[in-house]
């Protein structure tokens, strides 16, 4: 019985640590998804949602938070949403680019 309780506690602690540690996209993830979004944008491989349209319009008005991250080649979008964080600031102004970037990040597990 004590062994069973120890196993259950061990599993519970492991799950708690996994839940507490959220995956964050790396510069490599962001770079790869920006590249894929540039290619997807040209091919229109991802369909933008109405949210992409609204967010792209907001970015065109310059209201998106932007930053230069170490290792990035230019300004990128800052967001709590990991599917948007790190998006090229210029690409963020286009709904199709946003859609392609989100699809890439989703494929990478974000």
Per-residue pLDDT of 10-69, as tens digits, reads 666 655 554 444 578 899 999 999 999 998 877 777 889 999 999 889 888 876 555 555
Q: How far apart are CA 90 and CA 15, in angstroms?
A: 39
- Of the two residues 3 and 110, the one the predictor is more confident about is 110
Give residue 88's pLDDT band: very low, low, confident or very high (50, 70, 90).
very high
Q: How far apart are CA 95 and CA 89, in angstroms?
A: 12
Say yes or no to pLDDT of 101 above 90: yes
């Amino acid at each position: 019985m004590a062994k069973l309780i120890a196993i259950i506690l061990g599993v519970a602690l492991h799950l708690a640590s996994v839940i507490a540690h959220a995956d964050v996209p790396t510069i490599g993830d962001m770079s790869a998804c920006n590249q894929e979004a540039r290619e997807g944008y040209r091919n229109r491989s991802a369909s933008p949602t109405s949210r992409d349209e609204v967010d792209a319009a907001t970015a065109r008005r310059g209201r998106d938070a932007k930053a230069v991250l170490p290792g990035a080649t230019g300004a990128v979008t800052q967001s709590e949403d990991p599917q948007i964080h790190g998006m090229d600031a210029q690409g963020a102004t286009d709904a199709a680019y946003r859609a392609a970037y989100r699809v890439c990040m989703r494929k990478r597990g974000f």
